[in-house]
């Protein structure tokens, strides 16, 4: 049971079906010796949309007409790229139907997470931030291009949550015995 324990920020970006397809197609067109080794989950293309002002967020999903309007624009762009790379174009109606069901499923969990975290920090509660992987996968300091789409250094933990860095009083790290 996660009610009252799980909260989703309305600013969270949504990995759309075209992100996963593009992730796979981008990898397929690369020389086999130069493949990135992506997980194919669409994280990189979703992050690219975020920084290029093309992302769809939970806030958009909760507003059906706004979501559809933004989706139409993105499908015009993404379907051209998908077709150019040999993939099959996506259908707007199918995506809208899929996300209509998801909208109502997640609606009860959408909360302003920044306010929740700031309130807990003021009470001196322990807050655990989990970051992706480690320094060698950081988009700026890692072994580029074999990295994840975001910054994963401990200082970045607060960037998306609205907690000031001076509130972090302990950083823990987990290290593998060898790099892969």
* pLDDT tens digits, one per residue of 125-135: 888 887 666 77
Maximum CA pair distance of the chain?
A: 54
Residue at token pair 């593009």: 22
Task: Report pLDDT for 145.
Answer: 86
- What is d(CA 25, CA 50) in angstroms, rounded to the nearest whole number? 19
* pLDDT tens digits, one per residue of 82-102: 999 999 999 999 999 999 999
Residues composing the chain: 180
Report yes or no: 146 and 36 within 8 Å, Cβ to Cβ. yes
Task: Report pLDDT for 172.
Answer: 78
């Amino acid at each position: 049971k996660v009610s009252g324990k799980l909260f989703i920020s309305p600013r969270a970006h949504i990995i759309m079906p075209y992100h996963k397809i593009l992730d796979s197609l981008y990898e397929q067109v690369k020389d086999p010796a130069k493949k990135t080794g992506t997980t194919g989950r669409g994280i990189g293309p979703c992050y690219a949309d975020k920084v290029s002002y093309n992302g769809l967020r939970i806030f958009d999903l909760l507003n059906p007409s706004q979501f559809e309007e933004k989706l139409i624009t993105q499908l015009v762009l993404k379907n051209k790229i998908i077709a150019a790379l040999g993939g099959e174009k996506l259908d707007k109606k199918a995506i809208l139907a899929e996300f209509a069901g998801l909208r109502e499923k997640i609606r009860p969990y959408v909360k302003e997470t920044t306010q929740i975290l700031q309130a807990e920090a003021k009470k001196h509660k322990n807050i655990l931030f989990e970051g992706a992987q480690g320094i060698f996968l950081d988009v700026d300091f890692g072994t580029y291009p074999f990295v994840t789409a975001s910054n994963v250094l401990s200082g970045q933990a607060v960037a998306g949550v609205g907690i000031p860095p001076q509130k972090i009083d302990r950083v823990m790290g987990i290290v593998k015995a060898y790099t892969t």
